[in-house]
A and B are shown apart, each in its own frame.
Chain A
């Protein structure tokens, strides 16, 4: 039987990993991630979790340890944030290109300078080309559920890719709310032990993995990786459906919709700010604006087809980016407009940069984005507009 417990988003992640019967954990402390691995360490110490915790001197080594474990067929877990994630970047590619089903929680945090510990999605999105299935959750419950789902996706025989599960620093990671904790029996039923893939290490048949491939052998590995991403796109949806029938909760697979059935306008958003977006939409509807929320839950594989069908035919779309690619603008805006290329009757899309460095994204901010969208749908595409920048501070 499932029970309820009040817990932070980070503890929800730890419970998700423990319920998934993770066998090898390796991580290096960094705010705001630390309490994820502290909780797991406590579970090991008190005897509730039968896993090996490998202590290391850096995030690069933490992921390398997971890569070693996953290469031998162990279920592995790590967690990090911001600079820790950037420090392990070489290994992030190695796990993705090496087709190893590691699961990692990323507590999204801004990148210095200026030094900061608060949420921004640029750290997670900077890893978008590494070959990881990449998700971003809205709530504590979804954090727990998504870790369990992540192993089901990662270890699928046709996928075999690592999965990154992102959650906003503090608004999710350190905020305690009631979370439904599934029982071990329920999770075991949902998540059987992953198949030992033929390329994993085996004492009976020694081999070297990831070695030199000359140009005449090399490109095919990327082709297979891209194919695995396509398989993941389907698997994410079937896993979410199966999860829904077992546990009664669904997150829409790759894309979650809120009040979109009759919507003419949509707010497209990633992560925790979707909560404010949903409140904003409720208020907008009282003012007679038919708006809804499209939450992009999965960033890789980018759900192009799902988003086209969600957004085609709408009058306008406001994209909220809690990230910045300097010289390009909002990453989500760029990827979304690219996905809409060639769609018949494309909606007007306006991009907004908001909440960088942990600045609060308020319900009024989102109401503003939609109201300005409504009055400008005829004006064609618009570049990113920065919300809530304090002009009086600028030189």
Chain B
């Protein structure tokens, strides 16, 4: 079993707090043809769930909580929020 230290500690790793994507009520959908790869969404995403891709960004839905900031910041309106079913 993992031993504790004298104080509670956590070491950063991908998803160390669990997959938070299921908290989402709305899903951001990227329309790639409108994306100019300005990386505003990548910079503004508070969860680090938007990643640089080969041509355009991609969204990691395992961790995206659906806050909609990316949609709000996108200068070409390439992102829309769609209700999760």
Q: Say whether A associates with B.
A: yes
- B15 close to chain A: CB less than 8 A: no
- A375 close to chain B: CB less than 8 A: no
- B11 close to chain A: CB less than 8 A: yes
In the complex, which residues of chain B have a beta carbon less than 8 angstroms from the beta carbon of A206? 11-12
- A208 close to chain B: CB less than 8 A: yes
In the complex, which residues of chain B have a beta carbon less than 8 angstroms from the beta carbon of A217? 4, 8
> Which residues of chain A in 58-84 are interfacial with respect to chain B, using CB atoms and an 8 Å cutoff?
none
In contact, A207 and B4 (Cβ under 8 angstroms): no
> Which residues of chain A in 180-210 are interfacial with respect to chain B, using CB atoms and an 8 Å cutoff?
197-199, 205-210
Shortest A215–chain B CB gap in Å is 13
- B10 close to chain A: CB less than 8 A: yes
In contact, B8 and A210 (Cβ under 8 angstroms): yes
Interface stretch (choices A170-178, A220-228, A331-339): A220-228
In contact, A207 and B8 (Cβ under 8 angstroms): no
In the complex, which residues of chain A have a beta carbon less than 8 angstroms from the beta carbon of B8? 209-213, 217, 221
- B14 close to chain A: CB less than 8 A: no
In contact, A209 and B6 (Cβ under 8 angstroms): no
Kindly supply a per-residue 1/0 record for chain B positions 1-32, scoring 1 wherever the CB is within 8 Å of any chain A CB and 0 otherwise: 00011111111100000000000000000000
- A105 close to chain B: CB less than 8 A: no
User: Of the candidates A199, A212, A213, which one forms a contact with B6 in the assembled complex, judged by CB atoms under 8 Å apart?
Assistant: A199
Shortest A204–chain B CB gap in Å is 12
- A160 close to chain B: CB less than 8 A: yes
Bound form: Cα–Cα A220–B7 in Å: 10
In contact, B12 and A208 (Cβ under 8 angstroms): yes
Summarize A's interface: helix, strand, loop or mixed.
Answer: loop
In the complex, which residues of chain A have a beta carbon less than 8 angstroms from the beta carbon of B6? 99, 160, 197, 199, 221, 224, 228
Kindly supply a per-residue 1/0 record for chain A positions 208-247, scoring 1 wherever the CB is within 8 Å of any chain B CB and 0 otherwise: 1111110001001100100010000000000000000000
Summarize B's interface: helix, strand, loop or mixed.
Answer: loop
- A330 close to chain B: CB less than 8 A: no
Bound form: Cα–Cα A155–B21 in Å: 43
In contact, B7 and A210 (Cβ under 8 angstroms): yes
Number of interface residues of A (CB under 8 A): 21
Bound form: Cα–Cα A213–B4 in Å: 10
In the complex, which residues of chain B have a beta carbon less than 8 angstroms from the beta carbon of A97? 7
In the complex, which residues of chain A have a beta carbon less than 8 angstroms from the beta carbon of B4? 217, 220-221, 224
Bound form: Cα–Cα A97–B12 in Å: 22
The chain A residue with its CB closest to the CB of B2 is: A217
> Which residues of chain A in 333-374 are interfacial with respect to chain B, using CB atoms and an 8 Å cutoff?
none
In the complex, which residues of chain A have a beta carbon less than 8 angstroms from the beta carbon of B5? 198-199
User: Of the candidates B7, B10, B12, which one forms a contact with A98 in the assembled complex, judged by CB atoms under 8 Å apart?
Assistant: B7
User: Of the candidates A98, A207, A221, A224, which one forms a contact with B11 in the assembled complex, judged by CB atoms under 8 Å apart?
Assistant: A207
In contact, A208 and B7 (Cβ under 8 angstroms): no
In contact, A207 and B7 (Cβ under 8 angstroms): no
The chain B residue with its CB closest to the CB of A223 is: B4
In the complex, which residues of chain A have a beta carbon less than 8 angstroms from the beta carbon of B11? 205-208
The chain B residue with its CB closest to the CB of A218 is: B8
Bound form: Cα–Cα A213–B10 in Å: 10
The chain B residue with its CB closest to the CB of A198 is: B5
In contact, B12 and A209 (Cβ under 8 angstroms): no
In contact, A199 and B12 (Cβ under 8 angstroms): no
Bound form: Cα–Cα A158–B55 in Å: 55
> Which residues of chain A in 84-125 are interfacial with respect to chain B, using CB atoms and an 8 Å cutoff?
97-99
User: Of the candidates A211, A224, A228, which one forms a contact with B9 in the assembled complex, judged by CB atoms under 8 Å apart?
Assistant: A211
Bound form: Cα–Cα A160–B5 in Å: 12
Told that A199-B6, A207-B9, A221-B8 touch, could you supply 20 new A-B pairs with CB distance under 8 A? A97-B7, A98-B7, A99-B6, A99-B7, A197-B6, A199-B7, A199-B9, A205-B11, A206-B11, A206-B12, A208-B9, A208-B12, A209-B7, A209-B8, A209-B9, A210-B7, A211-B9, A212-B8, A217-B8, A228-B6
Show 29 A/B contacts (Cβ-Cβ < 8 Å), sorted by A: A97-B7, A98-B7, A99-B7, A160-B6, A197-B6, A198-B5, A199-B5, A199-B6, A199-B9, A205-B11, A206-B11, A206-B12, A207-B9, A207-B11, A207-B12, A208-B9, A208-B12, A209-B7, A209-B8, A210-B7, A211-B8, A211-B10, A217-B4, A220-B4, A221-B7, A221-B8, A224-B4, A224-B6, A228-B6
Residues of A whose CB lies within 8 Å of any CB of B are: 97-99, 160, 197-199, 205-213, 217, 220-221, 224, 228
Residues of B whose CB lies within 8 Å of any CB of A are: 4-12
